[in-house]
Chain A
Amino acid sequence: MTTLKELSAKKELFTGGHRLCSGCGIPPIVRLILRSTDAPIVATTATGCLEVGSTIYPYTAWRIPWIHSAFENAAATISGVETAYRALRKRGRIPDRDMKFIAFGGDGGTYDIGIQALSGALERGHDFLYVCYDNGGYMNTGIQRSSATPMAAATTTSPAGDVIPGKQSWRKDLTKIVVAHDIPYAAQASPHNWADLSKKAEKALKVKGAAFMNVMSPCPLGWYTKPEDSMKLARLSVDTCYWPLYEVEDGILKVTYKPKEKRPFEEWIKPQGRFKHLFKPENAHLIDESQKRIDLEWQRLLDLDGKRV
């Protein structure tokens, strides 16, 4: 495994000067992932915070070839790039060397509008890595709910109203859906645990075929939290087991981090403005229901740990 010293000595491929918010989870995720291979990388990004924040013409934060084409099609776009690579390499029109292809998308562009293109690309088995930065909502357009938004969280399209207390459905478990495609590698990660994230990215970029990483991405703007608390909140999302760290490699599931002391869900949501209404007595049951769901899911993962899924 690469050490922090080695990682920090690598060339920065995603530069400073981009316009993502302070405390945003996306830049550390992107920078860590781009450091996880020595092969040349071509990347695509779905429309969203990362795209808007990194490429306001005539500036670009990308020191690698990069393309954005639309919102729902990062997986289809990278399919085209990766296929062109194979076609031109076969015909001897580009140097005969290994290259890596990465698609980045937010949860809106991945769980929702882009799930069809993602599923298609995974099924076809393109040799690429799809990275979803999951901040639990359409943050770029002003914090609307997505299917990754946690139950009961308030967003601008699932506001905590007098009658309806925030989002009314459980979040979609996209990693589970991706795993059902039987791709060689899928994982959940979080930027606060750089070692775990880097190791997973290294594996994901090494395997032949489609790989997927779902990465927790704190969003001070959409979560109504302090920028300086982002990594603490990322850690809490994992220590509460809301966001378990695990991987599925060639069909075998492995929980890569088990908290010594599992923290209550309440600890993660307490500092987040989007859950403020849950601390009114009439909504307390929603915290309990979420806790039960998290406990069940965590137990499911522990039961599957080390097994073929």
Chain B
Amino acid sequence: MAITAIKGKTALTGNSAIAYAMKQINPDVCAAYPITPSTQIAEEFSSYVADGVVQTEYITVESEHSAMSACIGASAAGARVMTATSSQGLALMWEMLYVASGMRLPIVMTNVNRALSAPINIHCDHSDSMGARDAGWIQLYSETVQEGYDNLFQAMRIAEDSRVRIPAMVCLDGFITSHAIENIELIGDEDVQRFVGEFKAINPLLDVERPVTYGALALQDTYMEFKYQQSQAISRAKEVVIEVGKEFGRTFGREYGLFETYKLEDADTAIVILNSAAGTTKVAIDELRAKGVKAGLLRPRLFRPFPAVELSNALKHVKAIACLDRVDSMSGFGGPLFNDIRSAMYELDARPRIISRIYCLGGRDYKVKDAIAVFDELANVKKTGVVDELTKYITI
């Protein structure tokens, strides 16, 4: 790989930036299976292995199910473990995602978001990671290549934190981010190593002097206590995300929180949206602001655990909110982001009107005019106080 610059800006695709971040982390074991649009991560990381620039042992598994199974074996053995996937690959891993989180193994995975079949579609939407939202993994979403790159290092720290010990998934948009070339700020290898630190295994299988049993059968008398502890641990991740985001900011000049806001402070209408579409929405907001419309944005970064109190506090002054989901949970009641945000807002005494809009499934282009149309709708809701359609498909 011809990436040489370690200071200043370097032009990289999202996939190359993730592979480069993995190279800099230099994990003990990586087990991955190629799938569009995350394939280049596996390809480029394989080159790093083949060229001996990392000491990682790379397992070229025969499926994503085996990828996650091998990650689980390696992580329980005491290794720092990373992988990457997309779409059907994540779906095939689904069973093992729960095993990884249930065993409290701090595996870090990049998921390059892509639609799920059928019909088959290789382009971006969030049905893959949203389908896995209840698998007990920390989920960090990334707007840009830079954020995806930065998130990977933070994910490692958060997952491995002794208060947490929960696997983490970094999500970025397929093609839109994974294949877009962006000028990003790379961190030096030594700084990366200093930031992620050395991995400390807890009860590893390879400590043969202290044999441990992983994956025992827990019945009615103990299963719930395991799940309670897991629930407590993922809840604690929120504070660690904040801490690590601040430390990252102090160290590298780019601070991250639980979510990003854009012109939200005085907004009376707002869009809540994940990943790359936030950029387009910001352009729409600038256009509307120029016309005197008080539009704003909230882009969740941490989706699991769900920072309900912080999100509702940030949105409570807004009169009308649209939650845009690039996925339909097929409940007949809007997308997952809508449902979680709306539920979080229920605790407020004075609640904004909140609508669900499903947009741009299967990689359909999200345009500035689409965001403006949503803000126009919100302006009407604000004015009349009436919601005509609570949930609706747009960009169709």
Measured CB to CB, the residues of A under 8 A from B are 40, 42, 44, 51-52, 55-60, 62-70, 72-73, 75-88, 90-91, 93-94, 99, 116-117, 119-120, 123-124
Question: Quick one: which of B57, B76, B211, B214 contacts A86, CB cutoff 8 A?
Answer: B57
Task: Report the separation of the CA atoms of residues A67 and B391 in the bound assembly, to the nearest whole angstrom.
Answer: 46
> Provided the pairs A65-B212, A80-B31, A81-B77 are in contact, do residues A42 and B217 lie with their beta carbons within 8 angstroms?
no
Interface residues of B in 60-109 (CB under 8 A from A): 60-63, 65-66, 69-79, 81, 95-96, 99, 103
> Provided the pairs A68-B214, A87-B29, A90-B55 are in contact, do residues A73 and B74 lie with their beta carbons within 8 angstroms?
no
> Provided the pairs A67-B215, A70-B95, A117-B65 are in contact, do residues A80 and B74 lie with their beta carbons within 8 angstroms?
yes
A72 shortest CB reach to chain B, Å: 7
B66 and A88 form a contact (CB under 8 A): no
Q: Which residues of A are found within 8 Å of B222, using beta-carbon distances?
A: 57-58
B211 and A83 form a contact (CB under 8 A): no
**Could you mark each residue 207-238 of chain B with 1 if its beta carbon is under 8 Å from any beta carbon of chain A, else 0?**
11001111111110010000000000000000
**B219 to A, closest residue via Cβ:** A56
Q: Which residues of A are found within 8 Å of B73, using beta-carbon distances?
A: 44, 67, 69, 76-84
Question: Quick one: which of A67, A91, A120, A124 contacts B205, CB cutoff 8 A?
Answer: A67
For residue B56, CB closer than 8 A to chain A, the reply is yes
Chain B interface residue count, Cβ-Cβ cutoff 8 angstroms: 43
Measured CB to CB, the residues of B under 8 A from A are 28-29, 31, 55-57, 59-63, 65-66, 69-79, 81, 95-96, 99, 103, 205-208, 211-219, 222
B79 and A69 form a contact (CB under 8 A): no
Question: A-B contact count, CB below 8 Å?
Answer: 169
Task: Report the separation of the CA atoms of residues A64 and B75 in the bound assembly, to the nearest whole angstrom.
Answer: 17
Q: Which of A55, A57, A68, A84 has the most CB of B within 10 A?
A: A84
Q: Which residues of B are found within 8 Å of A82, using beta-carbon distances?
A: 73
Q: Which residues of B are found within 8 Å of A60, using beta-carbon distances?
A: 213, 216
B216 and A87 form a contact (CB under 8 A): no
Q: Which residues of A are found within 8 Å of B215, using beta-carbon distances?
A: 51, 55, 67-69
A207 shortest CB reach to chain B, Å: 20
List the 8 closest A-B pairs by CB distance, nearest first: A80-B73, A120-B62, A84-B77, A80-B70, A76-B66, A76-B69, A68-B215, A80-B74
